[in-house]
Each structure stands twice: as structure tokens, then as C-alpha cells.
Structure 1
Amino acid sequence: MSKAKAAMKPIRRSRLRLFAGKRYYTWARYWQWLTASGTRARSRSAEVLAYTAAAHATPLLRKLRNVDMQLQYNKITNLRLAAARLDGLLIRPGETFSYWQSIGKPTRRKGYLDGMVLFYGGFRTGTGGGLCQLSNLIYWMALHTPLTVTERHRHSYDVFPDEKRTQPFGSGATCAYNYLDLQLTNHTEHTYQLKLHLDDTHLHGEWRCDNEQLYQYEIYEAEHVISLEPWGGYIRSNRIRRRVLTRSGELAGDEAVAENHALMMYSPLLYPPAGTEEGAL
């Protein structure tokens, strides 16, 4: 992990450099979309597939330190618009799901509002802000299915403490139109369907399937470390793994899922990670 952690040292870049870099990666993605081989998942169905493969829900509102709650309310509007574009999407055998190709660019003309966007260890407002909650949900559920994650991006900064965290650190998928995408490929023999909806308090999601899954999956964290780097910052690292279980609960496999490294933007001595005892760092 040492090389990856060394690369986390903050580097100040000019606004011109940031602007040019974003444009480069944005147009590189457009070119990739134009030239990509393979079949993209495009079809949606109002008919719900018979079996639930995975389901999860996340709260719509969370009080965050120094964050205007109006941005949270705006996020709910953004989530409703994006979820409506994805609800009922089918991923047939051999097809690939692309988060941004399926949603499209979030713009004011489409009704998207200013929400919170994480930016180099802090946050700012941006049209369509808050859609990472949806990509996080889809990714987390996908880890509980045999769908293959072919593109996923981790957060480079750990901005908020672990208060009320229910999932392992680093188990989400950040997104930014269009160069930070979430893509899943269906290498199975069965069709999967994404179902999404919002109620008054939560964003709800399901991966459904036309057949019952042979295995169940348990996601867990391994090798969690918080290290003080020579340049003065704290780096938080871990690995996400999953146990593959038969229907009877027998262990059929134990797989590596992801490796995470993030620059902490708060003192780990003041906010110990969830499940970590004081003084254990």
C-alpha cells in the first residue's frame, strides 16, 4: 500500500490546470462511449422480475457539519430525477450498465438543482450534486450479486467522521459526470433489473433477477489502518472483501473487492472510526 499512500499527498493545482484536466477527461469519455465495443444496457421494463437479488435503503437527510440543509433538500430532487431514469433498467446477459450513459448529463434544463459536491477535501455546490448517494447504493447492492463491477472510483478524501455509519469505510462509488462512472457487466446467464424509488425518508433500491441466486454475499472490511504520513497528514486505508455463501450458509469463497486509500480531513484522535476503540489508532 505504500506507493498508493505516497500518491495521496495533497498537490496544489491551478484553476487552469483543473479546468483543462476536467475537459480532457470529459471528452476522453465521450470518445470512449463512441468507440466502445460491447452491448450497453438500454431497455427498461415496467414488469418487475420475480426474484430479489439484493436490496438496500439509505436516509435522504443527514445533518452534516457546516453544510446548508437546503443542499440536502435539493439533493432529494436530484435523486428523484436520476432514479426515474434508471428505474426498471434491465441488464441482460452480456450487457454493461453505465451510470452516466443511463442518466445523462444533469442540467438545470432537466430540473436538477444545486447540491453538495465534494471537491478536493471540502465541498462546494454544483448542479446535480448529491447523486453519489445513488451510485453508492447501486454499487453496494451490486456487491451482493454476481454482477461484475468493471468500473468504480473511490473517494480520495475522507471528509466526514463515521457517525452512524452502517457500511464499511470505502464501500461506496463516487461519481462525476461523465469521467467518473460506475459500470457493471452481466456475465451470468440471467437478466437483472434495477428498481429504485424514494419515500419521505429513504432512497430505496433493489437488484432483481429472473431466477433465484445460487449464492449469498457478505461484505466486510479487512486491514483497516490509519497512518500518520511523514508530510503531516493522516491516510485511512482498508480492503473490502466478500464472503460467498451457499444457500445453506456454507462458505464457497472469499474474494477481494476493492482497496481504498483516503486523505482524512478531520483528526482521527477526535473521531475514532466506527467499531474502533479509543486509543486503538
Structure 2
Amino acid sequence: MINLKIAAQKLNGIIIKPGETFSYWKLIGKPSKRKGYVHGMVLHYGRFMSGVGGGLCQLSNIIYWMTLHTGLTVTERHRHSFDVFPDSGRTQPFGSGATCSFNYLDLQIKNNTNQSFQLILHLTNDHLVGEWRSDSPPLYTYQVYQKEHDMTMAYWGSYIRHNTIYRKKYNQLDQLIDDEYITENHAIMMYEPLLESSL
């Protein structure tokens, strides 16, 4: 929570004008104890570790997910190499997040529209909340979904998860005008794919 609050304050209210590019790490800078960051959970090669600034991927995840529902263009995004959480309670497609690591795994977003966009972020006691605002009503709405989802066993015994992410684009009359390919995901699963819920 501490790390997310510090980073969110750096990004909250940022405006991306037409032609400009948003860089996650350029705006946040290096997380350090001097800046108030504390140790948090870091995912490193499929294992959980402690590191200063841990947990900031939650922030890049929500920004990426929101951006897929706008006319903004993601120019740099990195997928998670390991799938560590089963699907119980999942509300978004697998692989719809963006991992980050200072300063070589960045999230960059370019504004190729003729509108300005403002990023709004804040934390409640239980949630990280965000939105993109623009200076004119959006012309399109988007539905992000997955295709070609499968889980296959690798030769070394672990399972590999794969899918592709697409989004449907609708005009103001709710007519489908495009079905766009977004990205492809591959990840090593860190749990058994057919685990039953304990609930």
C-alpha cells in the first residue's frame, strides 16, 4: 500500500497531449528507501521475493488494462513470464497485465489521437482505482477478450499457458467496426491447472 500510494501520487493527474508518450518509469523514477519506498512482494522467475518498491506491477497492470479501453496506443509492454495465480475469482483474461522492472521493463503509451488524456489514480482501503479522462467524449468503446487459450505440458513436466488478446471496437451506435489483435502471451504455470477449489 505504501509503495502504491507513493507511485500513484507521481502519476495522478498526468496529462498526455496528442503526439506525446507516457513512460511509467520516467515519471515514477527509481523506487528507493530515500523516497519512502519499503520492501514489498516481487515476483522473480516464478518465485516470490522481497524488494524495495515491491508491488508496483499492480499499478502498471491497471494502467495497461485501462489503456486497452481507450484510443491510446501501447508502444512498450512486457508480459509476465510466469503464471502464479489460479483463475479462481479472475475477472480479466489471462495475460492482460503488464510487468515492470526499473529501469528496463517499462510501460509506454503514445497518444496518437487528437485528444488530450489525463490519468487519475487513487487508493481506497481495499482497492487501487484508476481512470483515463479525455477532453472530449470518446468516439469508440472497447471489449477486451482472449482467443486461442490453452494449457500444454512441457517436456520438463510443467505446464505452459498460452493465449492471444483481442479487442472489439464499437462506434457510438454500438456497431462492431473492428476486431483488433493486441498481443500474445506465454507463461510457465506455477500451479496444477486442474486444481479444484477448496470452497
TM-score if structure 2 supplies the norm length? 0.97
Q: How far, CA to CA, are the matches of 1:178 and 1:109 in structure 2?
A: 17
- Asked whether the 8 Å contact 1:159–1:264 carries over to 2, the reply is yes
Q: 2:153 aligns with which of 228, 231, 237?
A: 228
Give the letter aligned to residue 79 of structure 1: L
Q: 2:39 aligns with which of 102, 114, 135?
A: 114
- Name the structure 1 match of 2:144: 219
The structure with the largest alpha-carbon Rg is 1
Q: How far, CA to CA, are the matches of 2:9 and 2:75 in structure 1?
A: 23
Higher helix share: 1
Q: How far, CA to CA, are the matches of 1:209 and 1:130 in structure 2?
A: 28
Q: How far, CA to CA, are the matches of 1:242 and 1:271 in structure 2?
A: 30
Instruction: Give the direction of change, closer, same or farther, for the CA distance of 1:94–1:234 in structure 2 (3 Å limit).
Output: same
Higher strand share: 2
Per-residue deviation, 1:271: 5.2
- Name the structure 2 match of 1:140: 65
- Name the structure 2 match of 1:161: 86
- Name the structure 1 match of 2:130: 205
Across the two proteins, how many residue pairs are aligned to each other? 197
Q: How far, CA to CA, are the matches of 2:2 and 2:153 in structure 1?
A: 39
Give the letter aligned to residue 199 of structure 1: T
Matched, 1:123 2:48: yes
Q: Secondary structure at the match of 1:84?
A: helix
Can you give the 5+ residue segments of structure 1 that lack an aligned partner in the other structure? 1-75, 273-281
- Name the structure 2 match of 1:186: 111
Give the letter aligned to residue 247 of structure 1: Q
Give the letter aligned to residue 94 of structure 1: G
Can you give the 5+ residue segments of structure 2 that lack an aligned partner in the other structure? none
Q: Secondary structure at the match of 1:93?
A: coil
Q: Secondary structure at the match of 1:243?
A: strand
- Name the structure 1 match of 2:191: 266
4+ residue segments displaced more than 4 Å: none
Q: 2:8 aligns with which of 83, 97, 102?
A: 83
Deviations 1:243-279 (A, max 9, x none): 000112100100001100000011112159xxxxxxx
TM-score if structure 1 supplies the norm length? 0.69
